[in-house]
């Protein structure tokens, strides 16, 4: 099963719609609740990151019997120092993002914690692609 969602820059009003839709689908498919939880938390964090930092992008989700693969690809500023971005507490979020309750520098570390595989490809001035895999076994 394949699903695609659009990400619009700064559109916090709709933030979480993609993750919510994936959550409903996984529930309908009878996926175990702990796997649903880690999948949607990782996807939601990535969705918020893209809305907060990038200029737009897409979310692609593939679900099969054995795994869920989520690709969040944005056109954006890229991440200049990925090692720093992976550290808990490091953030470049704007005051507006912080007022929404995010931007604590926990997003990428939390994605890592909740997924089995995480690949981040980033190029400054071009964008970032985050590929997250959750195994269902």
Partner 1 sequence: MKIEEIAKLIDGEIVGAPADDSYEVKKAFASDLMSDVLRFSMEETVLITGLCNNQTMRTSEMSDLRVVIIGRDKQPDEDMLELAEEIDITLIKSKFSIFKISGILYEAGIQPLY
Among 5, 7, 26, 45, binds partner 1 (CB under 8 A): 45
- Closer to partner 1 by CB, 37 or 119: give it: 37
Q: Which two tokens stand for residue 17?
A: 């719609």
Distance CA 137, CA 85 (A): 30
Specify the residue for token string 């993750």: 19
- Residue 15 near residue 72, CB atoms below 8 Å: no
Nearer to partner 1, 57 or 105 (CB): 105
* Other Cβ atoms closer than 10 A to 61: 23
Cβ distance to partner 1 smaller for residue 14 or 121 = 14
C-alpha to C-alpha distance for 96 and 102, rounded to whole angstroms: 9
Q: Which of 5, 7, 19, 79 binds partner 1 (CB under 8 A)?
A: 19
Stretch touching partner 1 by CB under 8 A, among 11-19, 57-65, 67-75, 76-84: 11-19
| 23 contacts partner 1 (rule: CB under 8 A) | yes
Backbone angles phi, psi at 43, to 5 degrees: -65, -40
**Residue 125, both tokens:** 């001035």
Which residue in this structure is represented by tokens 């979310």? Answer: 59
- Among 31, 104, 118, 136, contact with partner 1 (rule: CB under 8 A): 104
**100 forms part of the interface with partner 1 (CB under 8 A):** yes
- Tell me which residues touch partner 1 (CB under 8 A): 12-13, 15-16, 19-20, 23, 33, 37, 40-41, 44-45, 100-107, 110, 113
């Amino acid at each position: 099963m394949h699903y695609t969602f659009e990400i619009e820059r700064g559109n916090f009003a709709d933030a979480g719609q993609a993750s919510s839709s994936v959550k409903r689908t996984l529930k309908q498919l009878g996926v175990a609740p702990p796997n649903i939880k880690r999948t949607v938390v990782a996807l939601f964090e990535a969705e918020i990151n893209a809305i907060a930092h990038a200029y737009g992008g897409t979310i692609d989700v593939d679900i099969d019997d054995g795994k869920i693969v989520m690709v969040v690809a944005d056109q954006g500023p890229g991440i200049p120092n990925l090692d720093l971005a992976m550290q808990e507490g490091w953030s470049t979020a704007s005051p507006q993002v912080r007022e929404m309750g995010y931007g604590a520098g926990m997003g990428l570390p939390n994605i890592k914690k909740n997924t089995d595989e995480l690949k981040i490809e980033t190029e400054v001035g071009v964008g970032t692609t985050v590929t997250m895999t959750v195994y269902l076994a």
